[in-house]
Amino acid sequence: MIIFAFPLAFLLLFLPLLVRILPPLKGMHGDALRVPKTYFEKIKTLKQKSIGSLTLSLNEKHIEKLKLGSLFIIYVLLVTALARPQIVGERFPIKSESREILIVMDISTSMLERDYKLNNRPTDRLTAVKKVASDFIRKRTNDKIGLILFGTNAYLQAPITSDRASVEKTLLTMDAGMAGNSTAIGDALGLALKTLKDDEKKDKKSIILLTDGENNDGSLNIADAIELAKKEGIKVYTIGVGTQEQIVQSMFGININFGRQSDLDEKSLKELANVTEGTYFRADNMQDLERIYQLIDDMEPTTNEDKIVQNVEEVFYLPLIFAVLFSFILILSLRKIK
């Protein structure tokens, strides 16, 4: 499709018509020498006689019309170039800047404890977390997602990427104990901060750290990890999973509720979230877990609305080139006629 950047320039096409219609201004030609009209008629008669025939006179009229027509075409081409014609391509959407979210998940063997319910059936913590986290990943349609799994060791399983399907697949295929039986929260957080380390756009980056235990392994202790997170300035959301109570059925078929001493280090998780301007959440059940991920989704709103762009190519030079060519042709033609 062809459009014009300055379509009002085409109003100049009426300028020659206005010059022809409007009467000349008084004194426009200064003190020109006044010559009687009969003098020009005599000169015209003599010129026609010198040519020798009426046919040649008619040819001159045709040449004059052709010259004026050529000049008008050149003028139209120049005005068209002034209007800046542009070839506009099809409209297509592009993604604006996305957020980077790194999910850091505890897969130690304690995540196999079956104190959650999925579809009214007992299930282990890891299965519940997989379900909710995969739903969260699918929702973040415009964001880049990464995945770190940790136990005794921390591993970057999926670097920050816009290929959310591959991240979700990695998440769903992992098992508890793959990274060891203990819990190295410090090392996992350190790896996450290193992965997201960038001097720019830190407000577009965040970490979701989920665990059911305390830091009991690894080379980086939790205090140093918290200090490092504070220094980097990347927001960290922390989630503590696991019920705080344990229901045990006795041999007589009576359910007995025992107070549960959780291994979860809530104090450190709260401090980590606080110093990074994040939030700490406690997920005692499946419903809590779903609500927490929904809250995080709301706290990290996606601002990546699609922008519509078009490819625009300037072609003003084409009428300009034709105008120059017509001018050369006109000049050469007039020289041959003379």
pLDDT digits (tens, 9 = 90+) for 76-100: 999 999 999 998 887 766 655 678 9
Q: How far apart are CA 78 and CA 322, in angstroms?
A: 9
Q: What is the CATH classification number for the domain harbouring 106?
A: 3.40.50.410
Residue-by-residue DSSP string for 23-48: PPPTTTT-SPPP--HHHHHHHHHHHH
Domain that holds residue 291: 100-299
Same domain? For 136 and 199 the reply is yes
Q: What's the one-letter identity of residue 303?
A: T
Q: Calculate the dihedral angle through the C-alpha atoms of 246, 250, 254, 259, rounding to the nearest 10 degrees.
A: -20
Average pLDDT on 325-331 reads 86
Same domain? For 218 and 329 the reply is no
Q: How far apart are CA 161 and CA 155, in angstroms?
A: 16
> Would strands 121-123 and 116-118 be described as parallel, antiparallel, or unpaired?
antiparallel
Longest dimension (CA), the chain: 139
Same domain? For 295 and 157 the reply is yes
Same domain? For 190 and 158 the reply is yes
Decide if 80 is inside a domain. yes
Q: Lowest-pLDDT range, 22-36, 140-154, 294-308?
A: 22-36
pLDDT at 200: 67
Nearest to 232 by CA among 191, 187, 202: 202
Same domain? For 251 and 157 the reply is yes
pLDDT band at 20 (very low <50, low <70, confident <90, very high): confident
Whether residue 316 has pLDDT greater than 70 = yes
3-state DSSP assignment of residue 84: coil
**Structure-token match 């070839």, residue found:** 87
Same domain? For 220 and 275 the reply is yes
Q: How far apart are CA 207 and CA 235, in angstroms?
A: 6
pLDDT at 199: 56
Decide if 149 is inside a domain. yes
Query: Residue 289: which H helix or E strand, with range?
Result: helix 286-299
Q: What percent of the chain has pLDDT over 90?
A: 49
The model's pTM is 0.61
Whether residue 172 has pLDDT greater than 90 = yes
Average pLDDT on 112-125 reads 91
Same domain? For 138 and 283 the reply is yes
Decide if 6 is inside a domain. yes
**Structure-token match 């033609």, residue found:** 333
3-state DSSP assignment of residue 307: strand
Total structural domains within the chain: 2
Same domain? For 185 and 255 the reply is yes
Same domain? For 293 and 316 the reply is no
Contact between 244 and 260 (Cβ < 8 Å): yes
Same domain? For 173 and 118 the reply is yes
Decide if 28 is inside a domain. no
Same domain? For 152 and 277 the reply is yes
Bridge partners, 240 (sequence order): 211, 282
Decide if 304 is inside a domain. no
Decide if 237 is inside a domain. yes
The token duo for 51 is: 């040519």
- DSSP character at residue 150: E
Give the residue with greater pLDDT, 292 vs 332: 292
Q: How far apart are CA 288 and CA 282, in angstroms?
A: 8
Same domain? For 125 and 154 the reply is yes
Decide if 181 is inside a domain. yes
3-state DSSP assignment of residue 85: strand
pLDDT at 111: 93
Whether residue 276 has pLDDT greater than 50 = yes
pLDDT at 329: 85
Q: Lowest-pLDDT range, 5-9, 86-90, 160-164, 285-289?
A: 86-90
Q: Lowest-pLDDT range, 26-30, 179-183, 227-231?
A: 26-30
Decide if 29 is inside a domain. no
Q: pLDDT tens digit string along 26-49?
A: 555 555 555 555 544 555 555 555
